[in-house]
Structure 1
Amino acid sequence: MRFVLMVFGVALMLSGGLWALQGLGLVMWPAESFMLAERQWALYGAITFLIGALLFWRGSRRR
């Protein structure tokens, strides 16, 4: 279970980071994405990143 939490946490952190950077307009890839420079996606990405970080932390702390 630890491994699953950690892998899922990393996946959420990576996708949330991408969403946040796209929402802030710092990453303009892919060019046809609807998330580019949309502030709401920066918020969604930050929330997703934090959930992933919590899952990763929880997985690394369990025995």
Structure 2
Amino acid sequence: MKKWVLLAVGVVLALIGAVWVLQGIGVITGSFMTGQKLWFLIGLVAFLVGVVLIVATLTRRTPKKTT
């Protein structure tokens, strides 16, 4: 898979996860997710997976092409 695709997926997951965490703990209001522990946990998992993808993508070395 292309490096930029993994990076983009990681960024999107981290951002969505952060919003869900903030909704789950009640910082962002106006949604059925507000104040719900389930959405806090789902958001935390999504955020952590996104961060792992970002870090793994940025630290991964690309193999040199041999001819």
> Structure 2 length as normaliser, TM-score?
0.83
Gaps of at least 5 residues in structure 2 are: 63-67
Q: Which runs of 5+ in 1 are unaligned?
A: none
What does 1:27-46 align with in structure 2 at a 5 Å threshold? Answer: 27-28=28-29, 31=30, 33-46=31-44
One-letter amino acid matched to 2:32? F
Runs of 4+ in 1 over 6 A off after TM superposition: none
- After TM superposition, the structure 1 = structure 2 runs for residues 9-48 of structure 1, keeping only pairs within 5 Å, are 9-28=10-29, 31=30, 33-48=31-46
Answer 1 or 2: which has greater helix percent. Answer: 1
Higher RCO, 1 vs 2 (CA within 8 Å, ≥6 residues apart): 1
Identity %: 38
**TM-score of the aligned structures, taking structure 1 as reference length:** 0.88
Query: Highest CA radius of gyration, 1 or 2?
Result: 2
Taking only aligned residues, the RMSD between alpha carbons, in angstroms, comes to 0.8
Aligned pairs, number: 60
